[in-house]
Amino acid sequence: MDAVLRWLDRLQGRWRPVQFVVAVGRKFGDDQARNLAALLAYYAFLATFPLLLVLVTLLGIVLHDNPAAQQRVLHSALVDFPIIGDQLKGNIHSLNRTGAGLIVGLIGTFFGARGLTLAVQNAFNTVWGVPYTRRPPFVGRQLRSLALLAVIGVAIIVTGTLSGVASVLGHRGLAVTFGVLGASAVVNVGLFLLGFRLATAREVRVRSFAQAAVVSAVGWQVLLTLGGYLVEHELRHAEQVYGLFGLVLGLLAWLHVQAQLTLFVLEADAVRALRLWPRALAPKTLESGDRRAYTSYAQAQRRRQDSEITVVFAAPGPPRADGADSDAVQSPSAAQSPQTVIPSGTSPTATSAANSLATSGAAEPTRAPRKP
């Protein structure tokens, strides 16, 4: 098996795009992005009903004299849930409270949806390898969470409204339909950029994740369109058959696809920005991208400002007469292989640049850890 993997490594070395794709796949697995996507889908599912509850309650307050306008806005918001939107519409009702009880209910419901935004921040900073010491503190995370919830709410209403306009004006020709969908895509891109900025530590520049935000916004619009087509032509009568079971599974599946797509394109941007390729497939082979990636993973675990992490890659030793794995007995000090010390407060991009010394074969001078 090792021989096959080494042959595949030699094969991928001939095509740089293949190296990049392999590196994205490796990092997606190293970051356990599938688990992160499942967690995002779970918290998004839990946050959906509280956010819709807040929306319906606020609509009842602001548009209490215009029930028709309430229904139009609610319908536009539920367009973003094309598979189960009709069932949501029939099961979401406003908070029947007034005064202080209403305020407490809205605040409690709003804060109950923060699990989604906190999970998004954790996932994005994990993808970018931001050390814990460089992530926003507790108060900063809460403020970012509230702002991100507001962005999500605006995105649901605005994109849903534009999608509804596209369906209403569809009889006027493809040009009008594509024009409205294009406007919706532009709005989505802006909202996704703002959301990515709020969810990622400030040391990661906007241009680093701009491509991921654009692809995620376009993917969101495509999934909305496909979901609407699926409901209109394939699942028109299936919702009543599956009932609550279909409601839960449909919503979870749709949210999980969104999360998987977003994290995958974000991983691609991180690999590109941090130059985390090429990556080896053979288990005992280290490419330059492997060194940078593993160093970034180690640095991301730093939890104190007064600490430093040294990453040492042990060189493989000569074959042993007894057939044992020589790597298992090769000590880091005897290996004399490149090692990197990244001072506290260094950004992921700077971490990648510092590791270029290791990838070139020259060891960077090491320093003794600071005394606490």
Position 220 scores a pLDDT of: 81
Provide the 8-state DSSP code for 17: H
Q: What is the pLDDT of residues 259-285, one digit of tens each?
A: 999 999 999 999 999 999 999 998 888
Position 330 scores a pLDDT of: 39
Q: What is the pLDDT of residues 294-318, one digit of tens each?
A: 999 999 999 998 888 888 988 654 5
Position 160 scores a pLDDT of: 61
Buried/exposed 331-357: b ≥16 CB within 10 Å, e otherwise: eeeebebbbbbbebebbbbebbebbeb
Task: Flag whether pLDDT at 96 surpasses 70.
Answer: no
For residue 78, which of 234, 227, 277, 278 has the smallest C-alpha distance? 227
Q: Where are the domains of the chain?
A: 26-274
Q: What is the average per-residue pLDDT within 237-241?
A: 51
Position 33 scores a pLDDT of: 95
- Would you give the distance in Å from CA 332 to the centre of its chain? 35
Position 74 scores a pLDDT of: 64
Among the ranges given (15-24, 80-89, 164-173, 328-337), the one the predictor scored with the smallest mean pLDDT: 328-337
- Beta-bridge partners for 312: 339
Q: What is the pLDDT of residues 168-212, one digit of tens each?
A: 565 666 777 777 777 777 888 999 999 999 999 999 999 999 999
For residue 201, which of 294, 272, 134, 271 has the smallest C-alpha distance? 134
Mean model confidence pLDDT for the chain = 75
What three-state secondary structure class fits 213?
helix
Position 242 scores a pLDDT of: 55
Q: Are 151 and 195 contacting, i.e. CB atoms less than 8 angstroms apart?
A: yes
- Evaluated on CA atoms 251, 256, 257, 259, the torsion sign reads positive
CB atoms within 10 A of CB 73: 21
Higher model confidence: residue 167 or residue 162?
162
Higher model confidence: residue 8 or residue 319?
8
pTM given for the model: 0.77
